[in-house]
Structure formats: C-alpha cells, structure tokens
Amino acid sequence: MRRLAIITARGGSKRIPRKNIKEFCGKPILAYSIEAALKSGVFDTVMVSTDDEEIARVAKEYGAEVPFMRSADNANDFATTKDVVREVLESYQKNGQEFDRLCCIYPTAPFVTAKGLESAMELLNTPGTQGAMPVVRFSFPPQRSLIIEEGSLRPKWPENTLKRSQDLEPMYHDAGQFYCLDVKSFLEQDTMVPAVTAPIVLSDLEVQDIDNEEDWKMAELKYSILNQKNM
C-alpha cells in the first residue's frame, strides 16, 4: 500500500501576491502543510506540485519533493484541483511509480495537523470508504437564506422562516484543507469527493478561508488562539 501526499502550490496568486510562500506566524504558509504531512508518518512520498521555481525551492527547504514542475495547462486560473492531481499521478506513472492512496493538501492550510492527516488516512481503511475530507457546519442555517429581488429582501425558502434553527437539518461545507482519496476510486469517478466520502467535522476555530488580507489576519489570530489552547 503506497501513499502519496500532494500539496498544490501554483505561483499565480492575484488577490494575495506570492500567497503560497507568504510568511504566516513566522514561516512560509506552505511550510505548515509540508511539515504536517511529513510528521504524520503515513506517506511514502510528500511532494509539491508547482509551476514556480521559488515555491519549489521553499518546498525542498522544508523537506518536500518536487520531482517535476506543473504544466502550464494546469497552472492557470481555470485548472481544477482534480486536474492537478490527475497530472501528478500520470507523471509518477510515467516514471514507473504508482500509488494506492493519496492526500491532496492545500498549501494555505496552517490548521492541518499531523494527527488529523493520520486519522483521515486511517478512515480509508474502513471497508467501502473511498475518500475522507474535513467539513465545517454552516454557522447560520442556509435553509433560512435571504435573496434580493428588485431591491427587496425575500426568503429563499419561505416555509423555513418561522422554523427554529435546531429543527432544521445541519448542513456542512468543505473546510478547504485536504482530501484523502483511494486512487482507484478517484480515477474511476473523476472527482475529489467520491460517492462514499467520510466526513471529518471541524470547529469554526479550525477553519478559515484565506482569500484576502483580512482573511489572512483572521487566520493568524485563530492559529495563535489554537496554539495557546494546546500549550
């Protein structure tokens, strides 16, 4: 059973320039994903897929492999994570290397831990499980969403307006951290979320999208709070 960690870190970040190697609480944010994967001890190979020489240098400095550079086709704004993962698997296959399981980790995921990765990969040992991924519960029930029509607010689903929050079905969204996958299931179903994907439910404190400078500051604040709690 061979296991691969793929950290996807292209160079073309526009909203936060050089985002993947920007300093986060003392070191490049990319380093957190690499270190968690290495420390977990569950991967035969920890690699970074990038099109950028500086990112490749930083990745190697923190212990990851960069055996090949990402193609231009998969380094633009329209390439999907699925495309990048498939390219990595195909590149390894050309070199005579194949993997049974993988974990695709985002490069701006400082809340990912070695223990979390180890537990997630262990879920793939459950018979029938094809994937595992972290999710977080919506803080406000989406069923009571409002929309704007002709300048006025309207409930999207009026039948839920007077329902108590606790009576509505809990709903979750992708935490934006990683996807653990059975390689065969990934290739057959062509998706990062196969039919049988185990959820890993996280708290709001462990999750932060980082799309702008305000998000970055919030992520650093959350990271500091978590570190204080774990001391």
CB-based burial, 19-38: b 16+ in 10 Å, e otherwise: bbbeebeeebbbbbbbbbbb
Other Cβ atoms less than 10 A from the Cβ of 206: the count is 18
Q: Which amino acid is at 26?
A: G
The one-character DSSP state at 71 is P
Look at residue 231 in the predicted model and tell me its pLDDT. 57
Name the residue among 107, 120, 108 with its Cα closest to residue 50. 107
pTM (predicted TM-score): 0.94
**Residue 44 pLDDT exceeds 80:** yes
Look at residue 230 in the predicted model and tell me its pLDDT. 67
The Cα–Cα gap between 197 and 38 comes to 24
The Cα–Cα gap between 126 and 10 comes to 33
Both tokens of 34, joined, read 């690499």
Question: Rounded to the nearest 10 degrees, what angle do helices 29-40 and 114-123 cross at?
Answer: 50
Q: What is the pLDDT of residues 189-220, one digit of tens each?
A: 999 999 999 999 999 999 999 999 999 999 99
Q: Where are the domains of the chain?
A: 3-134+174-229
Would you tell me which CATH number, out of the four given (3.90.550.10, 2.60.40.10, 3.40.50.2000, 3.40.50.300), belongs to the domain 3-134+174-229?
3.90.550.10
